[in-house]
Structure formats: structure tokens, C-alpha cells
């Protein structure tokens, strides 16, 4: 990767600077919510999750959608929308409304071999050795990472009793800090790391792939990071083992991301929608606790989006994302056939 100087670019922000930006927080108002409620109420209760944007006409939301697309790709890469009236609409209408908005924002992708495009982020109760287990299906702390999509969208239906806080850091700021202060670490992070196939990625024929944390194409920055799959690859006989230098670089990256001067920390409440560009932000979640009946516990919806205004990414991502050109359909997990 050739060195990039990203200081002063829109995606370069440090910690609480994000909260002062005009492209961070938006309040949904009646002009946004009324058409969303209308299309969600009219949606086929049996087929809505199989339908795209044409089934949810939202012409008056065009300016909002366009602004969000621009802010995610050319701004901070992180946007918080507040005000989806979950208590008034109920969870079913709120879920359909979130799906409708997401379909206008981008193209929803499969998040597992079963083809699910709306993933329910909550404690499913799986044991760690259960093949269905994955971090967002538990109440455990998650480390900083990215997902296999251009933009990840979360909608909070219910917050946890305690914990479950969201952390977001600019990967552009991480790159810049390393470039100035730890260039040797940055050099290692621009080299390929092994990623073993995810436990729910049964439609993928490759047992592992190799990807850098930081990369560029045509002068466009990109960051991709999921240490849990790197560590599993390190232990897997079919994938290359990490060198001591690689482990040290990964530790240095995670230590830097945990610096409160670089990340922001907040808690989503019912009706909050969080949108993140995975190429310029990392995110994580703290552990949480819940009590009571399942219908009262923490529950977020997650949608992976491929974006029509996405940046080009390095050619090495073709096996992991399926395509690398700007604006093409890419990412997600292939549904298993048969």
C-alpha cells in the first residue's frame, strides 16, 4: 500500500469531535415518519422481507436518503438517526419501516448461509461451542471490528437493562496516528492477514482468505478488520500462522482503538438508527445484562448494505466481497444451495 496522508479529510475525526459534526446526528420528523409508517402498514406481512425498494415507495424521503448516502461515504462515515416511534408503532411496523428505509439507502445483503437479511442482535442463548454461536447473538463484549458490507445499519427496538453500549472509532484516525507515531506497526497492518471462514458462512468454498487491515485503491482508503477470524485462522491447520510481529501489530491497533481520545461511546435507545461506513470506521459493543421475559430484553435489528456510491477497494478483497469496483453489488455471505 502506498502511503496516504489523510489528516483533515472528512473521515478523519478523533473521539468527541464526532458529536460536534453536522453530519452525525439527525432527528426524524413527521415528514420522514408519516410515509414510513404508511408503507410499513401496507406491506405484506408474509412477504415484506423478500421485497425491495419498489414495494416501499418513499419519494418524499429522497433528499434524506441522498444526504445519508453522501455523509456515509464522503463525511464522517457515522450517522445517528433518532425518533423512530417504536413504542407507538410496535416492533412489527418499526421493523418493516427500518427495512423500507434500508432498501432505499442501499441493497441488503445475506448475513449467513441461510440467506437472512435482517439479523436480530440479541442474546439467543447459544453456548460458545454451538455452531450457531456468533458474537452479536450473545451478550458478550465484542472487540472493535468491521462487517462484510459497505454500510452496516442498526435499529434499536429495546435497550439492555445495563450495558450494551456502542463504541465507534474512525479507522482513518487510527491510520493517521499509526503513520505518525508507529510507522513500523502500520507497515505490518498493510500486509495480508489470514481470515478463516466464518462458522455461519457455509456457502463459502474457501477455508480462508488473506486480507490487509489497511489498504487503498485509486487513492481511496479502506480498512477491514475482524480479529476473531484472524485468531481462529492462526489456530487452524489449513491457514497460515501469525508471526510475532503480526500479533504485536494487531495488539497495538486494538490498544489504540481503545483510547478514549479516539473513540466515542454512547448507548442506543429504542427508536435509534445507527449507520456506519465499514471502510472508514470500526465499531464494537460492551457486554450487557438482561432480565425478565425475552420480549423485554435488548433487541437490535442489523442490516448489511452494499452501496451504489461506494468507493473502490483493493483487488485482494475479491474473494471476500465478490467484487471490488466502486458502486457494484458486493459483500455479504452466499446463501448455501441445497
- The answer to the question of residue 101 being in a domain is yes
* CATH number, position 97: 3.60.130.10
Band (40; pLDDT cuts 50, 70, 90): very high
Band (335; pLDDT cuts 50, 70, 90): confident
Band (338; pLDDT cuts 50, 70, 90): low
- The answer to the question of residue 4 being in a domain is no
Contacts of 42 (CB under 8 A, 6+ apart): none
**Mean pLDDT of the region 83-111:** 97
Distance (Å, whole) CA 139 – CA 225 = 21
pLDDT at residue 337 in the model = 63
- The answer to the question of residue 143 being in a domain is yes
- pLDDT tens digits for 169-180? 999 999 999 999
Q: Strands (DSSP E) along the chain, which ranges?
A: 25-27, 78-82, 107-108, 119-121, 151-158, 162-163, 166-170, 193-196, 208-211, 214-217, 220-223, 263-266, 273-277, 281-285, 288-289, 299-306
∠ Cα 320 167 327 (to 5°): 35
- The answer to the question of residue 327 being in a domain is no
- The answer to the question of residue 307 being in a domain is yes
Contacts of 137 (CB under 8 A, 6+ apart): 121, 122, 123, 124, 126
- The answer to the question of residue 15 being in a domain is no
Distance (Å, whole) CA 103 – CA 270 = 21
Give the pTM.
0.96
Which stretch of 9-23, 113-127, 310-324 has the lowest confidence by average pLDDT? 113-127
188 vs 197, more confident: 188
Find out whether 72 and 23 touch, Cβ atoms under 8 Å.
no
- pLDDT tens digits for 221-271? 999 999 999 999 999 999 999 999 999 999 999 999 999 999 999 999 999
Band (316; pLDDT cuts 50, 70, 90): very high
- The answer to the question of residue 208 being in a domain is yes
Angle between helices 244-257 and 227-235 (to 10 degrees): 160
Distance (Å, whole) CA 283 – CA 7 = 21
133 pLDDT exceeds 80? Answer: no
Band (193; pLDDT cuts 50, 70, 90): very high
16 pLDDT exceeds 90? Answer: yes
128 pLDDT exceeds 80? Answer: no
**Mean pLDDT of the region 71-93:** 98
- The answer to the question of residue 139 being in a domain is yes
Find out whether 270 and 89 touch, Cβ atoms under 8 Å.
no
Find out whether 273 and 81 touch, Cβ atoms under 8 Å.
yes
Contacts of 258 (CB under 8 A, 6+ apart): 144
pLDDT at residue 322 in the model = 94
pLDDT at residue 279 in the model = 98
pLDDT at residue 274 in the model = 98
Band (318; pLDDT cuts 50, 70, 90): very high
pLDDT at residue 289 in the model = 94
- What is the span of the domain harbouring residue 299? 24-321
Number of domains observed in the structure of the chain: 1
285 pLDDT exceeds 80? Answer: yes
**Mean pLDDT of the region 159-167:** 95
Find out whether 89 and 31 touch, Cβ atoms under 8 Å.
no
306 pLDDT exceeds 60? Answer: yes
Band (219; pLDDT cuts 50, 70, 90): very high
Find out whether 280 and 81 touch, Cβ atoms under 8 Å.
no
Amino acid at each position: 500500500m502506498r502511503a496516504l496522508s489523510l489528516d483533515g479529510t472528512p473521515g478523519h475525526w478523533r473521539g468527541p469531535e464526532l458529536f460536534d459534526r453536522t453530519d452525525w446526528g439527525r432527528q426524524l420528523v413527521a415528514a420522514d415518519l408519516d410515509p414510513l409508517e404508511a408503507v410499513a402498514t401496507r406491506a405484506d406481512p408474509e412477504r415484506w422481507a423478500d421485497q425491495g425498494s419498489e414495494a416501499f415507495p418513499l419519494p418524499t424521503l429522497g433528499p434524506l436518503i441522498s444526504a445519508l448516502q453522501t455523509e456515509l461515504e464522503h463525511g464522517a462515515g457515522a450517522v445517528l438517526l433518532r425518533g423512530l416511534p417504536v413504542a407507538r408503532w410496535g416492533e412489527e411496523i418499526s421493523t418493516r419501516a427500518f427495512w423500507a428505509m434500508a432498501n432505499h439507502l442501499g441493497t441488503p445483503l445475506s448475513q449467513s448461509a441461510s440467506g437472512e437479511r435482517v439479523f436480530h442482535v440479541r442474546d439467543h442463548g447459544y453456548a460458545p461451542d454451538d455452531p450457531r454461536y456468533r458474537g452479536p447473538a450473545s451478550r458478550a463484549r465484542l472487540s472493535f471490528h468491521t462487517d462484510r458490507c459497505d454500510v452496516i445499519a442498526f435499529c434499536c427496538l429495546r435497550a439492555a437493562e445495563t450495558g450494551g453500549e456502542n463504541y465507534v472509532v474512525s479507522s482513518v484516525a487510527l491510520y493517521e496516528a499509526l503513520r505518525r507515531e508507529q510507522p513500523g506497526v502500520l507497515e505490518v497492518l498493510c500486509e495480508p492477514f489470514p481470515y478463516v471462514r466464518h462458522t455461519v458462512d457455509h456457502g463459502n468454498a474457501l477455508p480462508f482468505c488473506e486480507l490487509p487491515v489497511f489498504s487503498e485503491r485509486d487513492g481511496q482508503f479502506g480498512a477491514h478488520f475482524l480479529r476473531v477470524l484472524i485468531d481462529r485462522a492462526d489456530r487452524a491447520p489449513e491457514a497460515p500462522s501469525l508471526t510475532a510481529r503480526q500479533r504485536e501489530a494487531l495488539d497495538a491497533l486494538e490498544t489504540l482503538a481503545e483510547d478514549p481520545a479516539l473513540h466515542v461511546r454512547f448507548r442506543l435507545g429504542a427508536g435509534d438508527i445507527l449507520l456506519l461506513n465499514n471502510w472508514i470506521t470500526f465499531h464494537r459493543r460492551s457486554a450487557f445484562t438482561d432480565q425478565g421475559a425475552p420480549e423485554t430484553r435488548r433487541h437490535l435489528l442489523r442490516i448489511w448494505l452494499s452501496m451504489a456510491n461506494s468507493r473502490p477497494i483493493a483487488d485482494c478483497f475479491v474473494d471476500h466481497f465478490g467484487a471490488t469496483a466502486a458502486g457494484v453489488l458486493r459483500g455479504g455471505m452466499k446463501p448455501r444451495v441445497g
